[in-house]
């Protein structure tokens, strides 16, 4: 899950359109792909009880800690509760990624339940990721200008990285304005509606990406979710404006959600190596451009929850539910020889990955 950020589209397109001469095309490793296909069959079943218990626990902890943070009299308790709330809310929101891959009926009622418990209250309905994230997994779109979730960050200016993270802190305000102001206005002004759908209805990082107009049943579901988020956003604005919700409490809640979006954006920084310059890549090349942070590291369970610590493996096995990725990783690791490309996508932790990315931006192209 990525937050919308704004970069100079001309720079992104220029980098994407200029292939690096020194870059070699990586051939697909058939042994690795066969092993992944086997794991996809063995670990494809979703376990509803895991999804529901994990989501409900995250929601209860997140909202309870949010209440404590807002009402706490001491700053230490408020700060601790705020951090717990941000991490739990982040975990709950991360299920939007699972929903985007989930087949109808795999976990009955989960999509509706998630939207009612998380999507609408946090103003991030699931349609913001559905029918968008799939393009990030498309064989011929990954890493190209048509990928909504890819920028060649390793090849961009050094200031791009801090800007990428800082802008994420503004995402909650942007979502509130999108649903509380732009959504109702766009129903009256058709040209604005087109812009809202194309540019402000997806969790993307590629500024050149334009979303398609929804059709069929998905359009009806989109409108229902959008209406719910719109009503809730207008109600929040009205409650704060009239003083029913104290401004201080609202600002604290907004700050906590901002912390969650910043954590996600930092996680996004290390989800890939971001070294592709726009050309189509083989599946193996896409895997090697992605990142696993498996155990024994413990902190990735917090900053890359709901299976996101196995992001490279997820690109090999997009249909495998998050609760099976760890087992799949262990089996593939034991099955493939030491020289397999599979082992090259595993990294020790966050600091080294951020440092590697920062160094790449400072190298002359």
**Helical axes 160-168 vs 247-269, angle rounded to 10°:** 140
Q: What is the mean pLDDT of residues 166-172?
A: 94
Tell me, what's the pLDDT at 19?
A: 42
In this prediction, residue 6 has a pLDDT band, given cuts at 50, 70 and 90, of very low
- Of 322, 314, 356, 250, which is closest to residue 99 (Cα–Cα)? 322
Higher pLDDT, 166 or 18: 166
On average, the pLDDT of the chain sits at: 91
Provide the residue ranges of all domains of the chain, joining segments of one domain with +.
Answer: 9-18+30-362
Tell me, what's the pLDDT at 39?
A: 85
Dist. CA 87–CA 185, nearest whole Å: 34
Q: Residue 318 pLDDT more than 80? A: yes
- pLDDT tens digits, one per residue of 198-256: 999 999 999 999 999 899 999 999 999 999 999 999 999 999 999 999 999 999 999 99
Dist. CA 318–CA 325, nearest whole Å: 10
Dist. CA 262–CA 55, nearest whole Å: 21
Higher pLDDT, 234 or 36: 234
The sign of the dihedral angle between the CA atoms of 46, 47, 48, 51 is negative
Q: Residue 23 pLDDT more than 70? A: no
- Of 254, 269, 74, which is closest to residue 161 (Cα–Cα)? 269
Residues with Cβ within 8 Å of 217's Cβ and at least 6 positions away in sequence, in order, are none
Tokens of 107: 């976990």
Tell me, what's the pLDDT at 253?
A: 97
SS (H, E, C) 185-229: HHCCCHHHHHHHHHHCCCCCCCCCCCCCCCCHHHHHHHHHHHHHH
Q: Residue 4 pLDDT more than 50? A: no
Tell me, what's the pLDDT at 8?
A: 40
Whether the upstream peptide bond of residue 111 has omega within 30° of 0, thus cis, is no
Q: What is the mean pLDDT of residues 331-354?
A: 93
Q: What is the mean pLDDT of residues 83-91?
A: 98
Residues with Cβ within 8 Å of 10's Cβ and at least 6 positions away in sequence, in order, are none
Backbone angles phi, psi at 68, to 5 degrees: -65, -40
Three-class DSSP category at 238:
helix
Q: What is the pTM of this model?
A: 0.91
In this prediction, residue 51 has a pLDDT band, given cuts at 50, 70 and 90, of very high
- pLDDT tens digits, one per residue of 101-157: 999 999 999 999 999 999 999 999 999 999 999 999 998 999 999 999 999 999 998
Higher pLDDT, 365 or 316: 316
Q: What is the mean pLDDT of residues 9-38?
A: 62
Dist. CA 341–CA 344, nearest whole Å: 5
Burial (CB count within 10 angstroms: exposed 0-12, middle 13-18, buried 19+), residue 27: exposed
């Amino acid at each position: 899950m990525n937050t919308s950020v704004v970069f100079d589209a001309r720079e992104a397109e220029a980098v994407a359109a200029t292939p690096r001469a020194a870059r070699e095309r990586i051939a697909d490793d058939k042994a690795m792909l066969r092993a992944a296909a086997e794991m996809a069959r063995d670990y494809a079943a979703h376990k509803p009880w895991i999804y529901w218990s994990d989501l409900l626990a995250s929601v209860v902890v997140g909202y309870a800690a949010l209440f404590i943070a807002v009402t706490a009299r001491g700053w230490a308790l408020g700060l601790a509760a705020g951090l717990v709330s941000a991490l739990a809310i982040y975990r709950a929101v991360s299920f939007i990624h699972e929903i985007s891959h989930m087949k109808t009926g795999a976990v009955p009622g989960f999509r509706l339940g998630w939207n009612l418990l998380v999507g609408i209250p946090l103003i991030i309905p699931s349609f913001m990721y559905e029918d968008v994230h799939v393009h990030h997994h498309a064989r011929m779109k990954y890493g190209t200008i048509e990928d909504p979730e890819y920028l060649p960050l390793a090849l961009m200016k050094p200031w791009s990285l801090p800007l990428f993270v800082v802008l994420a802190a503004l995402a909650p305000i942007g979502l509130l304005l999108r649903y509380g102001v732009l959504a109702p206005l766009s129903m009256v002004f058709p040209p604005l509606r087109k812009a809202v759908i194309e540019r402000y209805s997806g969790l993307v990082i590629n500024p050149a990406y334009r979303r398609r107009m929804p059709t069929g049943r998905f359009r009806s579901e989109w409108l229902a979710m959008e209406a719910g988020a719109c009503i809730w956003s207008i109600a929040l604005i009205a409650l704060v404006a009239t003083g029913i919700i104290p401004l201080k409490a609202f600002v604290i809640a907004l700050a906590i959600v901002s912390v969650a979006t910043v954590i996600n954006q930092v996680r996004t920084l290390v989800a890939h190596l971001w070294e592709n310059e726009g050309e189509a890549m083989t599946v193996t090349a896409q895997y090697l451009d992605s990142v696993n942070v498996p155990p024994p590291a413990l902190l990735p369970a917090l900053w890359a929850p709901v299976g996101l610590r196995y992001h490279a493996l997820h690109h090999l096995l997009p249909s495998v539910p998050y609760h099976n990725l760890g087992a799949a990783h262990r089996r593939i690791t034991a099955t493939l020889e030491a020289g397999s490309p599979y082992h090259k996508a595993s990294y020790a932790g966050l600091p080294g990955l951020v440092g590697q990315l920062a160094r790449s931006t400072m190298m002359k192209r």
